[in-house]
A and B are shown apart, each in its own frame.
Chain A
């Protein structure tokens, strides 16, 4: 009260002089400095975690990674003798199988969702709600934990369909797992293709499919490739699904009905069932290096994509 009175009685000039004292700008800047400092520390901590995990696995594993390690078969046993050649082959087979099954379905679904979903104006409420249902299905699939896919693959492919523990069972279960990834990335890249491309093609007399196949899809290729590479990475790093569908045999696979083990699965068996932590670490180093390479490829492809977009505009 007193202060207010004295303020009121004082001249305008002195009030103006007091103004800087009452400003909390300095304090606010100080708290910003503290907060941003903390955020930088947090960011550095995340980088540190990454460097420690990746650095530890690679520096401890890379010594074991020789040409011989990569090209001899695992001999099994408690000391985890041998290399990882058969597991590399199994991984590659499984990637091929998964991608071959999932890609056509995923791209087809994405094309339908982006290109045909819009033209359902002719009194087909049914189709409209069906498309909503498909979106719901894709979201649900993306959220289901991988062990559930494993259980499903075990029940349907391994048991009911009698494919046994095999590359085929694992590939089918893996395809279910990566399907949402391919659908989503393809959908996104189809949506970035300008409408004018389609209009120009249709105006020239092309049918809808000719337009999609010869105009829209080529323009969306980088996005589609990104989706496929992401799926490859998913198959490489996935373990739970294949743990319950692939059987874990360390022998060289001879057909799609052979049992097998992927690199990640091999690492798991080494770490849990043997004393060969050095071999497990080496397998881990191979895994991390392949994931880094895949990330570099994705960065390259998506830089192509953004460059292409800029050209379009």
Chain B
């Protein structure tokens, strides 16, 4: 009897320890990335890192503004292309599709989410880049913001679709019934009742999609071209800016970490810090919006 209860106590502490492991990991990640980036911030200075566009490690020039712009641009383009399709797919899945179609469709979304990012990258290199290359603009290599954004749009589709679907399904049944009982059509109910009621969940889905897009690494390296230039139009036509090669923050870390040393290595950690802070802001706002939605 006594022994059983002693075991009980001991195991409680063991479980308690495994529970706090995740906090410890978060703390360690913070600590190691910030600590390793300190030399860069001290020696180069925050202003030179964030506001300079020239990245030439051999020359001691470490400005990452061009990469911040690259990350933001490709994410924005992916959102513009991917979100309408993702929202449509979510509404289709939650409200329109018959049950049999739903099951097939849900497995498809699941598979789309499970395909490794390198496979998307390879598909982009082999199929998408040659198509984009056909656009007759001097200096267009096919690799660049447009190809990367198309790949990224497909990659964030499952995240946005499934979170939005959950949000639509969480709308109380009585809302829908009340609207239909007043004589509104199903479509009017979706537009005027369901979507406003699920608004906070949908916004959170978009923000999570942004987070995924900014954090994507390998597929971006494979199709975006990786040259560190401030994106500018290739010709007089401002639209050709989308054919410009670029580099993302994530790509910068992955491409150079294996051979970087000293200040250069520290600078890659500093790139990680910028990415980390960006992601923390994005995710925190998604959670705040979701929590406020739950409360109201």
Contacts and interface: CB of A to CB of B under 8 A. Distances in A.
23 contacts: A39-B88, A39-B92, A39-B96, A45-B85, A46-B161, A106-B18, A108-B14, A137-B22, A137-B23, A143-B283, A145-B214, A145-B250, A148-B272, A151-B269, A179-B25, A207-B8, A210-B4, A233-B114, A240-B218, A243-B217, A268-B118, A281-B122, A284-B123
Contact of B257 (A39, A116, A151, A180): A151
Nearest to B154: A49
Contacts of B14: 108
Interface in A133-160: 133-134, 136-141, 143-152, 154-156, 160
B46 interface: no
Contact of B279 (A45, A143, A264, A272): A143
Contacts of B116: 236-239, 264, 267, 284, 287, 291
A46 B18 contact: no
Given A32-B188, A111-B15, A155-B36, A207 B4 contact: yes
Interface of A: 28-29, 31-32, 35-36, 38-40, 42-43, 45-47, 49-50, 53-54, 56-57, 104-109, 111-113, 116, 130-131, 133-134, 136-141, 143-152, 154-156, 160, 176, 179-180, 183, 207-210, 233, 236-240, 243-244, 264-265, 267-268, 271-272, 277, 280-281, 284, 287-288, 291-292, 294-295, 299
A123 to B, nearest CB: 17
A268 B96 CA distance: 39
B111 A292 contact: yes
A137 B114 contact: no
Contacts of A40: 92, 96
A238 B218 CA distance: 9
A272 B93 CA distance: 37
Contact of B215 (A146, A288, A295): A146
Contact of B254 (A42, A108, A240, A294): A240
Contact of A145 (B15, B18, B275): B275
B11 A209 contact: yes
A131 B218 CA distance: 35
B246 to A, nearest CB: 17
B118 A264 contact: yes
A107 B14 CA distance: 12
Nearest to A51: B108
Contacts of A292: 111
A140 to B, nearest CB: 5
Contacts of B175: none
B218 A268 contact: yes
A287 B7 CA distance: 44
Interface of B: 4-5, 7-8, 11-12, 14-23, 25-26, 28-29, 32-33, 36, 84-85, 88-89, 91-93, 96-97, 101, 105, 107-112, 114-123, 125-127, 154, 157, 161, 185-188, 190-191, 208, 211, 214-218, 221-222, 250, 253-254, 257-258, 268-269, 272, 275-276, 279-280, 283, 287
A108 B21 CA distance: 10
Contacts of A39: 88, 91-92, 96
B122 A57 contact: yes
A47 B190 CA distance: 23
Given A54-B111, A108-B19, 4 more contacts: A107-B18, A109-B15, A143-B279, A236-B116
A29 B186 CA distance: 9
Contacts of B117: 237, 239-240
A112 B15 CA distance: 6
B139 to A, nearest CB: 22
B186 A32 contact: yes
Contacts of B4: 207, 210
B111 A109 contact: no
A62 B27 CA distance: 44
A35 B29 contact: no
A240 to B, nearest CB: 4
Given A139-B287, A147-B215, A237-B116, A277 B126 contact: yes
Nearest to A32: B187
A115 to B, nearest CB: 8
Contacts of B115: 53-54, 237, 287-288, 291
Nearest to A234: B114
Contact of A47 (B96, B108, B191, B211): B108
Nearest to B211: A143
A86 to B, nearest CB: 18
Contacts of B126: 277, 281
B154 A53 contact: yes
Contacts of B222: 268, 271-272
B122 to A, nearest CB: 5
B257 A154 contact: yes
A295 B114 contact: yes
A147 B254 contact: yes
